[in-house]
Homo-oligomer: A and B are copies of this chain.
Amino acid sequence: MAADRVNLNADMGEGFGAYDMGDDDRLLAIVGSANVACGMHAGDPNVMHRVLSAARDRGVSVGAHAGFNDLSGFGRRAIEMTSWDLELLVTYQIGALQGVAAHVGMTVTHLKPHGALYNMAAERSDYALAIGRAAAKVDPALVYVAPDGSAMQAAAAELGLPMACEAFVDRTYEDDGSLTPRSQPGAVITDPELAAERAVAIVRRQAVPTRSGGELPRRVDTLCIHADSAGAVETGKAVRRALEDAGIALVTIPDVAN
């Protein structure tokens, strides 16, 4: 069954103190949902407030982009911790974002792990469940954003959390469903029009294209625009336009979850 709606999401609020990163303002004009760093791998109260205020003004829904507490490594380094430590670390981040959201009159509606935590939780059920339990305890209406077929999807199902399945418009997939490593040539799609074409196909066919030329069936509710890629804004605009032209409605994460 081809989908008639999809969400676009992007990671935002990745600055810290005097440091900016990404082009949040322009991306907020494109996406329906923002994943907001919560002060551990990136983000601070001021950055969070700026992103949430702007998201509110544009009708963009917001979620916690929870990461390892590793500002030095920007959350991209794998860290071994107990699942209990992880559950509380994610709990803390959700709460902190909820606090800032209350300040701007918004509600946090989804949760998506960041960087190395995303990659580890895609494979490991202990991490996937720890993240999910944090959501279940703090707010069971939080939508768990993760790839179809991942350990996170299984965790969401086990915990009864709503789920939105994510695919990437600017990355190619291997036959086993993993993302092609960035070190491989062609792993990252930099041509906005090509990304846009793929986006429409992914949503319509509910399948992701593989590097080998085939495709893998995948439930896809939300497409991630990588905010830190060069040309993220151009890719985002092209993807959005192509989806609109194809008659696919662009909505927020709560509107695609189940």
Contact = CB atoms under 8 A, between A and B. Distances in A.
Interface residues of A, number: 48
Contacts of A45: 85, 88-89, 91-92
A96 interface: yes
A159 interface: no
A100 interface: yes
A183 interface: no
Residue among A70, A89, A116, A139 having the largest count of chain B Cβ atoms under 10 Å: A70
A46 B88 CA distance: 6
Interface in A36-67: 39, 42, 44-46, 48-49
Interface string A77-89: 1111100110011
A72 interface: yes
A182 interface: no
Nearest to A139: B102
A95 B88 contact: no
Contact of A80 (B69, B78, B93): B78
B103 A137 contact: yes
Interface stretch (A11-19, A27-35, A144-152): A11-19
Given A77-B80, A79-B78, A98-B98, A92 B39 contact: yes
Number of copies of chain A assembled together: 4
A92 B46 CA distance: 9
A94 interface: yes
Given A49-B88, A88-B46, A102 B72 contact: no
A194 interface: no
A138 interface: yes
A73 interface: yes
8 contacts: A14-B18, A15-B19, A17-B73, A18-B42, A78-B78, A88-B103, A91-B99, A102-B137
